[in-house]
Amino acid sequence: MNTGKVTLVGAGPGDPELLTLKAVKAIQAATVLLVDDLVSPEIVAFGSPGARIVNVGKRGGCKSTPQAFIEKLMIMAAREGENVVRLKGGDPFIFGRGGEEVEHLQAAGIEVQVVNGITSGLAAVTSLGVPLTHREHAHGVVFVTGHAQPGSQGTDWRALAATARDAKLTLVIYMGVSGAGHIQQELLTGLPASTPVAVVHRASLPDERSAVTTLGELDATIAREQLASPSVIVVGDVISGVAAVSAPVQFHVA
**Burial class of 229 by CB neighbour count within 10 A (0 to 12, 13 to 18, 19+):** middle
| Structural domain contains residue 30 | yes
Q: Are 144 and 171 in contact (CB under 8 A)?
A: yes
Q: Assess whether 124 and 227 both reside in one domain.
A: yes
Q: Is residue 215 part of a domain?
A: yes
Q: Which of 34, 40, 13, 16 is nearest to 127 (CA)?
A: 13
List pLDDT tens digits, range 29-69: 999 999 998 899 999 999 999 999 999 976 555 567 899 99
- List the catalytic residue out of 15, 88, 91, 175: 175
Task: Say if 104 falls within a structural domain.
Answer: yes
**Residue that is last in its domain, among 84, 115, 146:** 115
> Which CATH number goes with the domain that contains 218?
3.30.950.10
Structurally, how many domains does the chain consist of? 2
58 is catalytic: yes
Number of Cβ within 10 Å of residue 115's Cβ equals: 23
In a domain, 26, yes or no: yes
Structure confidence at residue 38 (pLDDT) = 87
Give the closest residue to 39 by CA, choosing from 71, 10, 17: 10
Pair 125, 237 in one domain: yes
State whether 141 and 219 are in the same domain.
yes
Q: How confident is the model at residue 246 (pLDDT cuts 50, 70, 90)?
A: very low
* Last residue within a domain, chosen from 65, 100, 115: 115
Same domain, 127 and 236: yes
For this structure, is 175 an active site residue? yes
The model's pTM is: 0.89
pLDDT in tens, 102-143: 999 999 999 999 999 999 999 999 999 999 999 999 999 999
Return mean pLDDT, the chain.
91
Q: Give the helix/strand (H/E) hosting 112.
A: strand 111-115
75 within a domain of the structure (yes/no): yes
CB 87 within 8 A of CB 33: yes
Under 8 Å between Cβ of 204 and 16? no
Position 100 scores a pLDDT of 94
Determine the structural domain holding residue 89 and report its residue range. 5-115
What is the number of other CB atoms lying within 10 angstroms of the CB of residue 66? Answer: 10
Give me the CATH number covering residue 34.
3.40.1010.10
pLDDT tier at 198, thresholds 50, 70, 90: very high
Same domain, 138 and 230: yes
CA distance 238 to 141: 11
Annotated active-site residue in 36, 88, 91, 219 = 36
| Residue 253 confidence class, pLDDT cut points 50, 70, 90 | very low
Examine the domain organization and report whether 125 and 217 are in the same domain.
yes
In three-state secondary structure terms, 237 is helix
- At residue 83 the predicted structure's pLDDT band, cuts being 50, 70 and 90, is very high
**Final residue before a domain boundary, out of 61, 94, 115:** 115
Does residue 78 lie within any of the structural domains?
yes
Is residue 162 situated within a structural domain? yes
Q: Which is catalytic among the residues 58, 74, 88, 91? A: 58
Residues 157, 100: one domain? Answer: no
Decide if 169 is inside a domain: yes
